[in-house]
A and B are shown apart, each in its own frame.
Chain A
Amino acid sequence: MSLRGRDIVTIRDLSREEIEGVLADAKKMIPYAEGSKVARPLEEKIVAMAFFEPSTRTRLSFEAAVHRLGGSCLTIADAGATSLRKGESLYDTIRMLSSYADAIVIRHPNEGAAALASRASDRPVINAGDGAGQHPTQTLLDLATMHEAFGTLTGLKVVLLGDLKYGRTVHSLAEALAGFGSEIVLTSPPALRLPDEFRDELRHRGAKIVEEPDVRRAIRDADVLYVTRIQKERFPEESEYRAVAGSYRVDAALLAASKPRLIVMHPLPRAGEIAPEVDGTPHAAYFRQAFLAVPVRMALLRQILVGPKPGGRAS
């Protein structure tokens, strides 16, 4: 099914075939994302970046994706500068924006904000993270990174390490991996375990999930080590944050026990979870992952705003 005009609120809004279609398209977008080839399918298109929460990577990679495709952006980068501060509802703000732009990318601190925006807007809405909720384009670029490294998403063993409670990237990713039949290993401090209801739901959908609190044992025969930042802003108490921060650290000594082809991923920014010495090893995939954000978002924006282009799929 074509993605043209569709909202992407959760990763479940995309079928497995649609995800594969975006990944295949993203691969073709790489030279355009690097600037070595030029195309302007989004010329005349305006994409609103409605960022009601601080974000560097996500917003800039979305803006880069729009510019690389010849489109233009309207950006709200600071919620304090909008009339939300004067008490305007998010609903009204989005309704107004949808009359100025061809699509809206939204980041918001409240869960469900993107679902609300999709009702307020008659233009397609792309969720760029809502509170501790979904972040589907991050998941797409995570999948693209794994697909580029292994040529497949089926049968991988993926360790999710760190904050599995508040880390929104891992919730979307775990759902998608479950759909591709990969094995998921959960490794987290007790206070940051994946919420029970979420784990049950993943199992209910046939996901292969094991919990292994010992990171050494977890990575022994893993293909991917996905590290998340322990996010200070998600903790109600600073003492709670300090107690768990730094409890997992990925360094060369740890990775010595892993498969040579294991890749280390991280949604970035990192805050000490991965030692800089890992950067120079073949395991480090996080900077590649950050770069792939651009071609993946280009592929998605083009499919939503212009429609499908005949072409192959990721195998």
Chain B
Amino acid sequence: MRELKITPIHHGTVIDHIGSGLALEVLRIIGVGTLDKESTVSVAIHVRSGKLGWKDIVKVENIELSPRTVNAIALIAPTATISIIHDYKVREKRTVDLPPRIVGVLRCPNPNCISNQPEPIESEFDVVERRPVLLRCAFCERPLGEFLRHLA
């Protein structure tokens, strides 16, 4: 019988097939500190996976992720799958997909970029290459490869 490391959830979202060791980054993107008090978050790190060898899993109760959050997860965990759970059943399951432009999730590494000034705009990055992911600031054109440090 399959061993359940973490318990199923009633309502919420399961992010599965996260690359091993990246669950904490996913939690940062979801913004665990700002979640509703009724939302229990469970995390499994370094779980056996048929597909990936090892993987991480994050389950968040009573939350459905916004498209922006899903885009951000796609940046760091392109292998992840997202399942929406209703009444213990999977209502919808999809893979994450990197859009051509990432809005608002990252901060430009160039301190002199206009997007780092107090302007009524959000940061924007164009996806220049997908494997490995290479982004470019839509304002100052600075390339961004190591984006984990630049999550806004």
- Residues of chain A having any CB pair with chain B under 8 Å: 10, 87, 89-92, 108-113, 115-116, 119, 130-134, 197
A112 and B115 contact, CB distance less than 8 A: yes
- The complex places the Cα of A131 from the Cα of B108 at a distance, in Å, of 15
B118 and A89 contact, CB distance less than 8 A: yes
B140 and A112 contact, CB distance less than 8 A: yes
- The complex places the Cα of A116 from the Cα of B108 at a distance, in Å, of 14
Given the known inter-chain contacts A111-B112, A116-B114, A131-B112, please indicate yes or no for A91 contacting B121, CB distance below 8 A.
yes
- The complex places the Cα of A109 from the Cα of B110 at a distance, in Å, of 13
A112 and B118 contact, CB distance less than 8 A: no
B140 and A111 contact, CB distance less than 8 A: yes
- The complex places the Cα of A111 from the Cα of B113 at a distance, in Å, of 5
B114 and A119 contact, CB distance less than 8 A: no
Interface SS, B side = loop
Residues of chain B lying within 8 A (CB to CB) of residue A112: 108, 113-115, 137, 139-141
Select the residue from A119, A132, A133, A134 with max chain B CB neighbours within 10 A: A133
Residues of chain A lying within 8 A (CB to CB) of residue B7: none
Given the known inter-chain contacts A89-B120, A90-B119, A116-B119, please indicate yes or no for A111 contacting B110, CB distance below 8 A.
yes
B118 and A111 contact, CB distance less than 8 A: no
Q: B66 interface residue, CB < 8 Å from A?
A: no
Q: B34 interface residue, CB < 8 Å from A?
A: no
Interchain Cβ contacts under 8 Å between A and B, 23 examples: A10-B141, A87-B118, A89-B118, A89-B119, A108-B114, A109-B112, A110-B140, A111-B110, A111-B113, A111-B114, A111-B139, A111-B140, A111-B142, A112-B108, A112-B113, A112-B139, A112-B141, A113-B114, A115-B138, A130-B114, A131-B140, A134-B141, A197-B143
Would you give the shortest CB distance from B37 to chain A, in whole angstroms? 36
- Give the 5 A-B residue pairs with the shortest CB-CB distance, closest first: A112-B139, A111-B140, A112-B140, A112-B114, A110-B114
Would you give the shortest CB distance from A301 to chain B, in whole angstroms? 24
Size band of the interface chain B makes with A: 10 to 19
Contact with A along B18-44 (1 / 0, CB 8 A): 000000000000000000000000000
B141 and A133 contact, CB distance less than 8 A: yes
A132 and B112 contact, CB distance less than 8 A: yes
A110 and B112 contact, CB distance less than 8 A: yes
Would you give the shortest CB distance from A58 to chain B, in whole angstroms? 19
Select the residue from B110, B120, B141 with max chain A CB neighbours within 10 A: B141
- The complex places the Cα of A131 from the Cα of B117 at a distance, in Å, of 13
B110 and A119 contact, CB distance less than 8 A: no
A115 and B119 contact, CB distance less than 8 A: no
Given the known inter-chain contacts A89-B119, A90-B117, A91-B120, please indicate yes or no for A115 contacting B112, CB distance below 8 A.
no
Select the residue from A89, A92, A112 with max chain B CB neighbours within 10 A: A112
Residues of chain A lying within 8 A (CB to CB) of residue B138: 115
Given the known inter-chain contacts A131-B112, A132-B112, please indicate yes or no for A110 contacting B143, CB distance below 8 A.
no
- The complex places the Cα of A108 from the Cα of B112 at a distance, in Å, of 11
- The complex places the Cα of A89 from the Cα of B121 at a distance, in Å, of 10
Q: A109-B112, A116-B139 are in contact. List 13 more A-B contacts (CB 8 A).
A: A90-B114, A90-B117, A90-B119, A91-B119, A108-B114, A110-B112, A111-B139, A112-B141, A115-B139, A116-B119, A116-B121, A119-B121, A130-B140
Given the known inter-chain contacts A115-B139, A131-B140, A133-B141, please indicate yes or no for A110 contacting B118, CB distance below 8 A.
no
Would you give the shortest CB distance from A52 to chain B, in whole angstroms? 11
A133 and B117 contact, CB distance less than 8 A: no
Would you give the shortest CB distance from B147 to chain A, in whole angstroms? 15
Residues of chain A lying within 8 A (CB to CB) of residue B108: 112
Residues of chain B lying within 8 A (CB to CB) of residue A134: 141
- The complex places the Cα of A132 from the Cα of B115 at a distance, in Å, of 15
Given the known inter-chain contacts A131-B140, A133-B141, please indicate yes or no for A110 contacting B121, CB distance below 8 A.
no
Would you give the shortest CB distance from A51 to chain B, in whole angstroms? 16
A110 and B120 contact, CB distance less than 8 A: no
Contact with A along B85-117 (1 / 0, CB 8 A): 000000000000000000000001010111101
Would you give the shortest CB distance from A198 to chain B, in whole angstroms? 9
The chain A residue sitting closest to B108, CB to CB, is: A112
- The complex places the Cα of A63 from the Cα of B120 at a distance, in Å, of 30
Residues of chain B lying within 8 A (CB to CB) of residue A111: 110, 112-114, 139-142
